[in-house]
A = this chain, B = another copy of it.
Amino acid sequence: MSTEQMIQTVHAYIDRLSHGTAEQIVALYADGASVEDPIGAPVRTTREELIEFYSIMTNLDSRAATLNWVRAAGDTAVFEFTLVTGTAGMSFEITPVDIMVFDDEGKIASMRAVWAQEDLTQL
C-alpha cells in the first residue's frame, strides 16, 4: 500500500461518483468494509448496505464530483470533494471531507465522512 496507490483509488472513487454504478463504487471497498457517512450516522457494514447507500446517489438525475485536494500517509487518505447533484429540477451542492483507511491490498477498509446538514446547499 503506497501513498500513490491510495491517491489513485481516491481519484477512481471520485470518477465513479460521477460516472459509475453503485456496484462499481462499492468494488473499491474491501469485503467487510464500513461506511459512516456522515460521521454519527449508523455505520453501514454489508455489501448490500453499501450498494443501497450509493444507489441513492446514482439514481439521481445528475451528479458530478470534483476532487478538491487529497493527502495520504501510512494506511490513510483524507480528501475533500464537491458533489453537485440534480433531482426534480433542483441542484444541490455538498463538500465533504472523507477519511479512508485502506487494507494491505489497497481496498478501502473504512470510510468516514465529515459534513453537517448545513454544508448541503441548494444552488
Identify the A interface with B (CB < 8 A): 3, 36, 38-41, 71-78, 97, 99, 112-116
Q: How far is the CA of A41 from the CA of B39 in the complex (A)?
A: 25
Copies of the protein in its oligomer: 2
Q: Is the beta-carbon distance between B74 and A39 smaller than 8 angstroms?
A: yes
Residues of B within 8 A of A72 (CB): 114, 116
**Which residues of chain B have C-beta atoms less than 8 A from A41's C-beta?**
74
Cβ contact within 8 Å between B40 and A71: no
Given A78-B97, A99-B99, A73:B3 Cβ within 8 A: no
Q: Is A115 within 8 A of B40, CB to CB?
A: no
29 contacts between A and B (CB under 8 A): A3-B116, A36-B74, A38-B73, A38-B74, A39-B73, A39-B74, A39-B75, A39-B76, A40-B73, A40-B74, A40-B75, A41-B74, A71-B97, A71-B114, A71-B115, A72-B114, A72-B116, A73-B113, A73-B114, A73-B115, A73-B116, A76-B99, A76-B112, A76-B114, A78-B78, A78-B97, A78-B99, A78-B114, A99-B99
